[in-house]
Amino acid sequence: MRWWRANRPAAPDAVQTDLKAVLALIAVEPGVGSRINTSTSSLVRRIYMPRTGYFAYYRVRDDCIEVLCVWHERRGTRPRV
């Protein structure tokens, strides 16, 4: 997010704002993200933030949402989650 703030002066808080909105959505509807298969878990989901091009990777454990990473689509590969 530091890169975004430094290089996107027209919307320096866009990633943070979008992530807050995604977290609010996940809190109400935890299954909203697309399930992805990983080598370690099938509980990982991701949700796309189209304004910024980032994905939020997360999993839900009991009553807790665990954000694993925020990853930009231009990186090409998926993060190791």
- With bands split at pLDDT 50, 70 and 90, how would you rate the model's confidence at 10? confident
Residue spans per domain, the chain? 2-75
Looking at the chain, the whole-number percentage of residues with pLDDT higher than 90 is: 43
Confidence band of 30 (pLDDT split at 50, 70, 90): very high
CATH class of 2-75: alpha beta
pLDDT at 49: 92
pLDDT tens for each residue of 31-78: 999 998 776 666 899 999 988 889 999 998 888 889 999 988 777 777
CA dihedral 24, 21, 67, 36 (to 10 degrees): 100
How far is the C-alpha of 35 from the C-alpha of 79, rounded, in Å?
14
Average pLDDT over residues 5-25: 87
What's the CA dihedral at 27, 32, 37, 38 to 10 degrees?
-30
Angle at 33 between CA 81 and CA 10, to 5 degrees: 90
